[in-house]
Amino acid sequence: MVAVAAPRQLPRKPLILAGIVLAWLVLWLVFRNVGTLPLDASALTPLHRMINELNDAVGASRNSNPLFLYFFNEIRLVIDEFVTFVQALIAQPSFGRPVPVIGWLGVVAIAGFVSLVVAGWRVALLAVAGFVFLGLQGLWQESMDTLSLTLAAVVISLLFGIPLGIWAGLSDRANRVMQPVLDFMQTMPTFVYLAPLTLFFLIGPASATIATLIYAAPPAIRITAHAIRSVPHNTVEASESLGATRKQTLLKVLLPSARKTIVLGVNQTIMAALSMVTIAALIDAPGLGKTVVKALQTLDVGTAFNAGLAIVVLAIVLDRVTTAATERRKLPRWALFGGLGVTGVCVYLSYTYLWAAEFQSDVEIGSSIRQGATAVTEWAQDTLPFITGGFKDFVTFALINPLQALLAESPWFLVALVIVAVSFLIGGVRSAIVSAVCLGLLVATGLWQDSMITLASTLVATIMVMILGIVVGVWMGRSRRADRFIRPILDAGQVMPAFVYLVPFLALFAASRFTAIIAAVVFAAPVAIKIIADGIRAVSPTTVEASTALGSSSWQTIVKVQLPMARGALTLAANQGLIYVLSMVVVGGLVGAGALGYDVVAGFSQGQLYGKGLAAGVAIVVLGVMLDRLTQAAAKRWTN
């Protein structure tokens, strides 16, 4: 009904919106710094203390409460065992040996052989080179820890994800139940479930693996279900008409037809897992992530860069191998057995001899990389401040500060009223209610002012994402050549785990809100750009041609035809951009973003701030849900 009435009301809405903002500004001047609900960095609310007590109580009853004894502890134990086993194989000294079961030579050989079988010899070469490079960086053991955790999480994710995906693909009812859960899991900012998990599973590899599972399993489920569902109905019908049983149809028609897409889902799962495993360093997961976090905390850009580079190398290798695996290929028999033999010999050598087990090399390039990165950082900080500093100051004073002042220095009820009113304008009563509930929850967390500061940064980052998205997206959408050139860069950007983005910007801009915002923009921009580029490209060529035939300039075609027609893509890009930006809030907390991000990070490291950190996590989720609902309501209204 709203959609029907929309065309008549629309012209008046911008006016009402402007009126609201104007009223806000006036009231802001009057009520400035009244009722802003601030909370000191070390101050706690009763809620936070209660969660602390809950945490203590849970800690005390961990070995007596049956729920823990027979449920959570069991899960933790099984996963711990599994992770420890994988680590024992390739990463950690084990079984009374001073080195892992399979040393570097064996791992490199296995990586090369597996890549050869599933992805061909080019990719195999890349894999071998990549793994050797990890060793040369002096990060072999850290890399193997990260790889172990990733593999363990991926195996468990797929063990559950693929059958669940098949089920959701076959049964409409299962699909209806799973879709909203998956939606929620994917809109939830990545890092917030770390804290509640530690409540149940302690900190360490088990929690890290479970967090990774939660993050990495949804793509596997979703893509598998999608793959099964997109097998053409008539193919399935043809199989049925020939008298195939359900099992035969599944095994001979659905799964083979869906194979390529399912492998794509495996790829997504692996990349998500790698990204999350590095983040899980926040809750004491071993590996490269830990090296990065420690280096970030001591502002040691050189070390952070070296470890970040290792993550990127690992990401590229894993991505190339699984992407290439979507193509069917057949290896000649001699290559298969030859490769198997060589791998066997390498594994044996690495099991037996120390030189093949421990990566020791005279050509240690890790320290050179560290020194180089540090030198570049110092040079950049010494020589570029008038450019980087100017940009930083401009954005800070022109955008961040005013918006933050407006949001965080207004009385809370004023901000709440404005947001509810805007929600009503965009999405009607339902949106208004959702926003009101979310705002109430924000107040309840006791972190209102921090939430507003984070909201300000998030909005600034999203605006920058949209500017970048529209400029680059339109360019890509209009020029095939630009698309061919830029798309691989965006793809590579999306493959990189979130952490890695921080390093270069930390070097350029030092720790500040601005650094966190820029990192979030770089993290979120590829998605937005791709969505907008696809939206522009999807505008019917006939319409564009007609516009050109009427004598429009390129600018007129873009502004009057292509952008309006791609507005569905624009709102979707804004929605995804927001979600991605929000998921970087916690990471930003590591480099001076303050507010909610800092609260979460501090909660991990200091016991008495645990409750506050958890509340901050909830606040991020609530912000996420509110912004997601709002942008989706806007998208719905615009596309109808």
**Interface contacts to other proteins, rule CB under 8 A:** 232, 234-245, 248, 252-253, 256-257, 259
Residue closer to other proteins (CB basis): 232 or 551 = 232
Task: Kindly report the number of other CB atoms within 10 A of residue 220's CB atom.
Answer: 27
* Residue indicated by tokens 């699909």: 175
Q: Name the residue among 595, 259, 576, 573 with its Cα closest to residue 408.
A: 595
Residue closer to other proteins (CB basis): 236 or 316 = 236
What distance in Å separates the CA atoms of residue 443 and residue 423, rounded to the nearest whole number? 18
Report the amino acid identity of residue 132: V
HSE of 375 in the Cβ direction (CA atoms, 13 Å)?
6
Query: Closest separation between CB of residue 237 and other proteins, Å?
Result: 6
Q: Where are the alpha helices (DSSP H) in 280-400?
A: 288-297, 301-324, 333-352, 354-357, 366-383, 390-395
Q: Is 317 within 8 Å of 131 (Cβ atoms)?
A: yes
What distance in Å separates the CA atoms of residue 403 and residue 481, rounded to the nearest whole number? 38
Query: Closest separation between CB of residue 390 and other proteins, Å?
Result: 56
Handedness of CA 175, 571, 576, 541 (dihedral sign): positive
Task: Kindly report the number of other CB atoms within 10 A of residue 47's CB atom.
Answer: 17
Query: Closest separation between CB of residue 258 and other proteins, Å?
Result: 10
Q: Where are the alpha helices (DSSP H) in 325-365?
A: 333-352, 354-357
* Residue indicated by tokens 């005279």: 362
What number of residues does the chain have?
640
Q: Is 185 within 8 Å of 218 (Cβ atoms)?
A: yes
Query: Closest separation between CB of residue 638 and other proteins, Å?
Result: 31
Residue closer to other proteins (CB basis): 182 or 258 = 258
Residue closer to other proteins (CB basis): 328 or 481 = 328
Query: Closest separation between CB of residue 255 and other proteins, Å?
Result: 10
Q: Residue 262 belongs to what H/E stretch?
A: helix 255-279
Residue closer to other proteins (CB basis): 248 or 605 = 248
Q: Is 169 within 8 Å of 393 (Cβ atoms)?
A: no
Residue closer to other proteins (CB basis): 32 or 176 = 176
Query: Closest separation between CB of residue 239 and other proteins, Å?
Result: 7
Residue closer to other proteins (CB basis): 249 or 557 = 249
Residue closer to other proteins (CB basis): 98 or 232 = 232
Instruction: Report residue 53 as tokens.
Output: 């007590």
Residue closer to other proteins (CB basis): 185 or 244 = 244
Please give the DSSP secondary-structure letter assigned to residue 216.
H
* Residue indicated by tokens 């859960």: 181
Residue closer to other proteins (CB basis): 234 or 542 = 234
Query: Closest separation between CB of residue 243 and other proteins, Å?
Result: 3
Q: Is 502 within 8 Å of 301 (Cβ atoms)?
A: no
Residue closer to other proteins (CB basis): 255 or 503 = 255
Please give the DSSP secondary-structure letter assigned to residue 562.
I
Query: Closest separation between CB of residue 378 and other proteins, Å?
Result: 57
Query: Closest separation between CB of residue 331 and other proteins, Å?
Result: 18
What distance in Å separates the CA atoms of residue 113 and residue 198, rounded to the nearest whole number? 37
Query: Closest separation between CB of residue 541 and other proteins, Å?
Result: 25
Query: Closest separation between CB of residue 242 and other proteins, Å?
Result: 4
